[in-house]
């Protein structure tokens, strides 16, 4: 068999696998942690982005692939807090925001066109997430196991309420949110942030989250502080890829541990 013939057979086989491979079923419905203070959008060129912390409400469905499109189960639970150049603040529906999964089920990236923010007269914007918010994967016409309206209703109401008790209300969830906020504030992924720079970010995040942290208590702040100190310590093995990468890793671990606790309680069974 010639080399050309062998290559042709490989290409044909690959095409057959592509056309016969079953479509991926809808992934998990996600819960979004409440963000009273609003997650600040960072604008770079034509797009403004922010990240929100999420967890999985359905162990029996697959984790979302990176970039999976999601939509709010209830649009009123996600709002844009727009601040004008003159300092006026108003909340409006997050109608033009796009939600896509990142790092499995523990983070969702929210994108907003920069020209939309300009049209609103906003000098800056934040994403506010209310209590018991959920995100549902966008439906696809070729989905072999789509999420039905009845399933969505049960998960986003009954299971989401259980998730608020078992996950949202835990100090570790607030710790994860703090760690995620500090990570998001580092814009250079590979930056070797100095201890002084990380300390400034830490203080900025705590000041911004102060009303939330008063209710959460000292345990949540102490837990986040341990993670930030670990990642900022020179020579730490995770920090070799940058403090931001390390913080994202620790944020993920905290949320996965909480999600395992939630699954072990077998809500809805």
Residue 60 lies in a domain: yes
Which residues are CB-contacts of 256 (< 8 A; sequence separation ≥ 6)?
Answer: 106
Instruction: Return the higher-pLDDT residue of 204 and 188.
Output: 204
Could you list the residue range(s) of the whole structural domain that residue 129 is in?
Answer: 30-151
Q: Does residue 145 share a domain with residue 36? A: yes
Residue 162 lies in a domain: no
pTM recorded for the entire structure: 0.86
Residue 190 lies in a domain: yes
- Tell me the chain's radius of gyration from C-alpha atoms: 21
Orientation angle between helical segments 218-232 and 243-264, nearest 10 degrees: 140
Q: pLDDT per residue over 104-138, tens digit each?
A: 899 999 999 998 888 888 889 999 999 999 999 99
Q: Which residue has the tokens 């702040």?
A: 221
Residue 44 lies in a domain: yes
Q: Does residue 142 share a domain with residue 51? A: yes
- The reported pLDDT for the residue numbered 239 is 56
Q: Does residue 177 share a domain with residue 71? A: no
Q: Does residue 197 share a domain with residue 117? A: no
Q: pLDDT per residue over 171-183, tens digit each?
A: 999 999 999 999 9
Domain count for the chain, please give it.
Answer: 2
Rounded distance, CA 171 to CA 72, Å? 25
Residue 204 lies in a domain: yes
Q: Does residue 138 share a domain with residue 212? A: no
Q: Does residue 145 share a domain with residue 69? A: yes
Strand partners, 122: 84
Residue 1 lies in a domain: no
Residue 12 lies in a domain: no
Sign of CA dihedral 150, 259, 136, 144: negative
Q: Does residue 147 share a domain with residue 54? A: yes
Residue 164 lies in a domain: no
Which residues are CB-contacts of 30 (< 8 A; sequence separation ≥ 6)?
Answer: 54, 55, 56, 57, 64, 70, 101, 105, 108, 134, 135
Q: Does residue 135 share a domain with residue 196? A: no
């Amino acid at each position: 068999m010639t080399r050309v013939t062998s290559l042709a057979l490989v290409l044909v086989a690959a095409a057959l696998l592509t056309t016969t491979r079953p479509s991926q079923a809808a992934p998990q419905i996600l819960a979004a942690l409440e963000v009273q203070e609003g997650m600040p959008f960072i604008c770079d060129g034509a797009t403004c982005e922010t990240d929100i912390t999420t967890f999985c409400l359905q162990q029996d469905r697959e984790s979302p692939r990176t970039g999976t499109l999601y939509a709010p189960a209830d649009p009123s639970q996600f709002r844009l807090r727009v601040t004008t150049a003159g300092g006026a603040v108003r909340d409006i529906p997050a109608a033009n925001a796009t939600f896509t999964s990142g790092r499995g089920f523990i983070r969702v990236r929210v994108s907003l066109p920069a020209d939309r923010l300009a049209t609103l007269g906003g000098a800056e914007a934040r994403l506010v997430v209310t209590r018991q918010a959920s995100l549902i994967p966008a439906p696809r016409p070729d989905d072999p196991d789509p999420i039905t309206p009845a399933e969505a209703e049960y998960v986003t109401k009954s299971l989401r309420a259980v998730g608020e008790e078992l996950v949202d209300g835990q100090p570790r969830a607030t710790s994860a949110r703090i760690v995620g906020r500090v990570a998001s504030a580092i814009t250079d992924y590979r930056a070797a942030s100095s201890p002084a720079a990380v300390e400034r970010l830490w203080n900025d995040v705590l000041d911004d989250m102060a009303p939330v942290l008063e209710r959460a208590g000292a345990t949540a702040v102490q837990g986040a502080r341990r993670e930030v100190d670990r990642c900022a310590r020179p020579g730490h093995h995770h920090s070799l890829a940058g403090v931001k990468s390390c913080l994202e890793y620790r944020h993920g671990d905290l949320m996965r541990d909480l999600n395992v606790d939630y699954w072990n309680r077998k809500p809805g069974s």
